[in-house]
Amino acid sequence: SAALYAGRARLNTLVLEKKKEGGQIALTSEVENYPGCLEGESGPSLIERMHKQVLHFGADFVYDEIESVVLEGSIKQLKGKKDVYKAKTIIVATGASSRPIGCENEKEFIGKGVSYCATCDGSFFEDFDIYVVGGGDTAVEEAMFLTKFGRNVTIIHRRDELRAAKSIQDKAFKNPKLKFMWDSTVKEVRGDGLLSSMVIENTKTGEQTVVEAD
């Protein structure tokens, strides 16, 4: 959005991206709450249209990871892994990234049973029992998307009610393939090369349960 306004103002505009345009929305399978989005809009399709619009107004895109900044003086500097960039004005729009749940052994099983992107990896878990940790909009929407692939999908949430928007909750509770594990957190994931079990702890009683992959 910042690049669009700057480009239309005929400013010399450069967008620096670490990996790809769009940030987290590029991982979203369905977008319903963005003004003007089309029916059946996905994160990637929305970002593709926005990207073309920004290019139309003359902005350039460069892929680099910024490691440090120098903001003193009239000319600012951004030092990336590939190059150094100079500008009179810098707009920082870093967005957000996936947040690990913080359980024991989590990092060891990333890509081996632990995933942070349903649209990227959902098809890998076809006919499996899938567990999604969280109770907000993103977690519940991802869980509903995963019902297309999983035998069953269970939402693990540390509280006894969801935090997601009511409209999203209504859809989730009507989905016959979606189950809920309330007042629970994942304490540990286990396996020999691939994830095969996890330890669930009840937040109220402290009781622990081991869930085995079926």
For 146, phi and psi rounded to 5 degrees? -70, -15
User: Catalytic annotation on 183?
Assistant: no
Catalytic residue among 83, 120, 160, 170: 120
Token digits of residue 196? 């095969």
Q: What is the 3-state secondary structure (H, E, C) of 42-53?
A: CHHHHHHHHHHH
**Alpha-helical regions (H) of 79-136:** 118-121
User: Catalytic annotation on 117?
Assistant: yes
Identify which of 115, 176, 174, 122 has the alpha carbon closest to the alpha carbon of residue 145.
122
Confirm if 135 and 155 have CB atoms less than 8 A apart. Answer: yes
Catalytic residue among 37, 64, 117, 183: 117
User: Catalytic annotation on 121?
Assistant: yes
Q: What angle do CA 203, 148, 160 make, to 5 degrees?
A: 20
Catalytic residue among 37, 64, 121, 183: 121
List active site positions: 117, 120-121
